[in-house]
Structure 1
């Protein structure tokens, strides 16, 4: 079972052990993958689809802080212990498939293979940097710029180079992520469409290149660090990594 590019250079036996210890689950649109305050011993890696990371504010309103695209992880608030209590909810913004991996397995991999730990750290740093830029600049942008950047974050690049957004992502989710009301997002969306910045077609909206050129935020999905040109050849560790799949049943 394929899980993540970071594991590509590991010995086949180790990859198989990780695969056997993990599970792949499908989630319907708007179904909770993990709820805030749930206790869990697992990390979550998006295989397909889109998850939104949701925090609940003091007024009990949900706020989408960011999204998880394919090959992105949710590791929890820390990585020091085997289990943790989630501070956020993971909700399927689209029908999604998610790898559910025991934390002890990923922790063992990080200790045995530093490149895995560095790859995860790089993704975390990129995510924090992107969120920091967004927080610093969002107060100075117009509603159109904020919506444009939110839409750009949600795009997927097709083979022809065009960036498209799945029509199944509702405006309420975009509004939650942008920090604007739904009527404002709807108004801006229509204005952008009238100006040719957004085009409807089939199951997607296509974003004009002008929207991408106007944003100085990075695309939402931080890419894992590229593997070295001559990656090291790993030997199987000489200690028990604790990969016992029979003892791990994902719970939410």
Structure 2
């Protein structure tokens, strides 16, 4: 079985095809889905949808790229939201250095506060870090965060990878790895320990090589796994098993409650 450790299955683009797509995913061996919410307004939709899909696990948070309309008061509601059914992490949270993102001081404030909520609940975090790995590491250390989690869409250096691993995180490996031009990412992936990474799609975004312009879905996970196996010269079945084990290790609440 495969687990997609990061897919936005709650997004509106899937509303007309969600049930059919879920059936296809299960038939293709993708049997687990971590769905991280990105805005306060999306929390209720995810909470209502997850009731219908026992294979889903939820994370709630305020995504750094969508903070323009966010309020700090929403962070105060995060703890209660994360005590609901099948929540395994706080996220998607983090820092985004893209040119049109909100002011970094605002992002750091929201990120640090959400890390503190996760710390108080002893929950791991799903971290969005775009061109901000060193800043994210600094925030994690400042909060003394020790619950670990997943660094979503990791594309940093081997040295940065090791720093996150030392803090109890695993690295999300997705569609970027399928592009031949991603030489640095290939080298880092080949050098990682087998316990260091998990598979993800970031559906509906981050399409694989050869599927540019199409809506990405969790059906891509076996293709990503095959690419990872090729880069690491390993058996794809081993990749499936290891990455599932890695995710369940850093998200210990996954198997709590009814499936």
- Shorter chain as denominator, the TM-score bin is under 0.3
Higher strand share: 1
TM-score by length of 2: 0.26
Higher helix share: 2
TM-score by length of 1: 0.27
Relative contact order higher in (CA < 8 Å, ≥ 6 apart): 1
